[in-house]
């Protein structure tokens, strides 16, 4: 069955450092992968999308890589800030309009 894993349930880093979150999947061939941010008691907010034929995407302090051979995506937040503290979810989709499968999420805490 399809399985998505995210590196750790919780990650603590110091302000100013780069946070790296991992998303690994098995038994799946996604057409694209997305990263979302979710704050407690709120719905997820879309951050970045990367397609299967793309290696890397950037948006301001965010960077996502996608390795379909390793079946892995890395999500980086550079110059992290306490405001970046949240749960980050990766989600895979087989194609446009198809349902998304979410990973369990990683709770990031950026310490001042």
Residue 95 vs 112, nearer CB to other proteins = 95
Work out how close the CB of 49 gets to other proteins at its nearest, in angstroms, rounded to a whole number: 6
Three-class DSSP category at 28: coil
| Structure-block tokens of residue 30 | 């996604």
Return residues touching other proteins (CB under 8 A). 32, 34, 36, 41-46, 49, 89, 93, 96-97, 99-105
Beta carbons within 8 Å of 21's beta carbon, 6+ residues apart: 6, 7, 11, 74, 75, 76, 88, 90, 106, 108
Residue 37 vs 112, nearer CB to other proteins = 37
Residue 27 vs 112, nearer CB to other proteins = 27
């Amino acid at each position: 069955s399809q399985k998505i894993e995210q590196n750790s349930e919780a990650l603590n880093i110091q302000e100013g450092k780069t946070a790296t979150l991992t998303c690994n999947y098995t038994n799946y061939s996604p057409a694209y992968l997305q990263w979302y941010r979710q704050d407690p008691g709120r719905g997820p907010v879309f951050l970045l999308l990367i397609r299967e034929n793309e290696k890397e995407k950037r948006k301001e302090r965010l960077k996502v890589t996608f390795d379909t051979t390793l079946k892995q995506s890395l999500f980086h937040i550079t110059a992290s800030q306490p405001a970046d503290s949240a749960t980050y979810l990766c989600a895979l989709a087989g194609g446009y309009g198809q349902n998304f499968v979410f990973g369990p999420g990683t709770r990031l805490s950026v310490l001042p």
